Amino acid sequence: MKMRSALVVSAAGAVLALGLSACGGGTTTNNSGGGGGGGSEAPAAQPTYNAGLEAVVNPSTKKGGTMHMAISEDWDSVDPGDTYYGLSWNLLRIYCRPLTTYNPAPGNKGNEVVPDLAQSLGEHSADFKTWTYKLRPGVKYEDGTAVTSKDVKYAVLRQLDKTTFVNGPTYFNDWLDLPKDFKTVYKTPDVNTDQAIETPDDSTIIFHLNKGYGGFDNFAALPATCPVPQAKDTGIKYREHVVATGPYMFDKVQTGKQYTLKRNPNWDKATDPIRLALPDAYQIDLGVEANDLDNRLIAGDLDVDLAGSGVQTAQIATVQGDPNLKARADNPTVARTWYMSILNDNPPLDNVDCRKAIIDGADRVGLQTAYGGPVAGDIADGLMPPMIGGWKKLGLYPTATGDIEKAKADLQKCGQPNGFETIITFRSDRPKEQAAAESLQQSLAKVGIKLTLKGFPTSEYFSSYAGKPAYTKANKIGIATNGWGADWSDGFGFMSQIVDSRVIREAGNYNLSVKSPEIDGLIDQAFAESDTAKRDAIWGQIDQKVMEGAYVLPEVWSKGLLVRGKDVTNTFINNAYQMYDYLNMGKTS
């Protein structure tokens, strides 16, 4: 998954949900009642530091008010078929209803998939290749027309067109059993696609996959399953007026500037067990200066920092230092690792011991400080973050502050006793990565490894520099700062794009350094394994192999420092999005 500056593009999927659905065998559990309205059923909490991690802060069912949200830039799109930001997947549920979604509840409950537009979770065939959902009766669009399963089918098919909708994930493209002659809904509208998605009647939809997958309910929770009426689809322009099925509909859309939403008169609470729909309206401001946004959030002028990635560096000290403010903050762990790829193309880094010298010599406490200190993340000792299934503490490089003796021994073993010189790249518009590169330069200088720093703009970092093997080889790049967040909170969703050597292309790579046939073999094993526990164990093993081969220097497992809005009710961290759940927030005034 591509990451853009401050926005955290973490997304759906949850290990627990995968576990439940995969182990459930042939039976399907009807969870329709289990969603729970945020305030009424979940445990309440005093507004203290980290209270929102395990409980709902300020539970309330009071209606009214305008929810004022803001974000420092813009995100890809409000079109549910064209978006890949976690914040967007979280937010769009106020105006559209996917087949399933993540339980709006704090703690581990947030990882559970619950039915939304569908009456229950999917019923699957024994080989997990066929998945059937029944739609709830009485769900209507904002104009009063009834939602049918054909609209869901159309919505899923239209977003397969990745030349029109460039942003979204490609899971349906990769897994649906599509006919060969099907291109897009616009180019080949007449091709019969029943072999991929069947709609025998207006309330039933059946997905046919090309290979079995036990966690399909996570796919059904993708925004792509939000129904789109074919008559109203205007392709890329649909984002200017998304037709609502949720409790709110777009009022005014000013692209790149502001969205306002009002109540959808045709949304019926009787069809929707999970939404409370408390505020009367939403106002979402785009392009608000980041530091200004933090100040307004703290002052109570804004209710929600939509990006959900936490306050800026300048405010970390303020929030930490003021007890009243700290009581309004949460510090959730995110499925994201900041790390450095150690490129093994050029000598002496083609030698594993030389790579180990870098990891052993690195002061990882200094690196943690560079990313913002303990509040911004825990010191990582592997690539995979702890919340991913199969994670285990590796302990291969135990001294976090840099072990000079061990690093020198590594250098001796690799035949470079006096150290060597190499180049480290970083994204020049990211001060934290620059600070990390500077920190590494300082700590490695002590063992004789001399680093030269080279910064490149984020927009071209992977396409022209660090992610382009021709460039890194010719320019003798040895280390590249990097970072990755999970699409999906399991080994598949986190690791597959960054450790598989077969995904490496000419340019635009995110896997910069892990090239090992042994690891590739393990990845194939993990794909083929149907048992979740065994599959997770293989991903854990892959993590260990990555560290044994010293392909990456892990820095931190990321955390965010989020501040709860002053007048906001029903605030809690949803573990599926690792930010505040936007579904059921309300206002006290």
Count of residues making up the chain: 589
Identify which of residues 268 and 289 has a Cβ nearer to another protein in the complex: 289
Distance CA 349, CA 397 (A): 18
Interior CA angle at 370 toward 289 and 470, to 5°? 90
Q: How many CB atoms lie within 10 A of CB 209?
A: 21
Cα dihedral: 303, 574, 499, 469 (round 10): -10
Phi, psi of 294 (to 5 degrees): -60, -45
Identify which of residues 14 and 449 has a Cβ nearer to another protein in the complex: 449
Three-class SS state of 153 = helix
Identify which of residues 122 and 448 has a Cβ nearer to another protein in the complex: 448
Cβ 49 to another protein shortest distance, Å: 12
Interior CA angle at 265 toward 262 and 268, to 5°? 120
Q: Are 438 and 451 in contact (CB under 8 A)?
A: no
Residue 492 CB partners (closer than 8 Å, separation 6+): 526, 527, 535, 539
Q: Where are the beta strands (DSSP E) in 419-476?
A: 421-427, 450-456
Q: Where are the beta strands (DSSP E) in 386-448?
A: 421-427
Identify which of residues 352 and 375 has a Cβ nearer to another protein in the complex: 375
Measured CA distances, 39 to 50, 248, 398, 437 (Å): 18, 19, 44, 45
Residues that bind another protein in the complex, under the rule CB under 8 A: 291, 312-318, 320-321, 365-366, 369-370, 372-375, 428-429, 431, 434-435, 437-439, 441-442, 452-457, 464-465, 471, 474-476
Identify which of residues 316 and 538 has a Cβ nearer to another protein in the complex: 316
Three-class SS state of 441 = helix
Residue 474 CB partners (closer than 8 Å, separation 6+): none
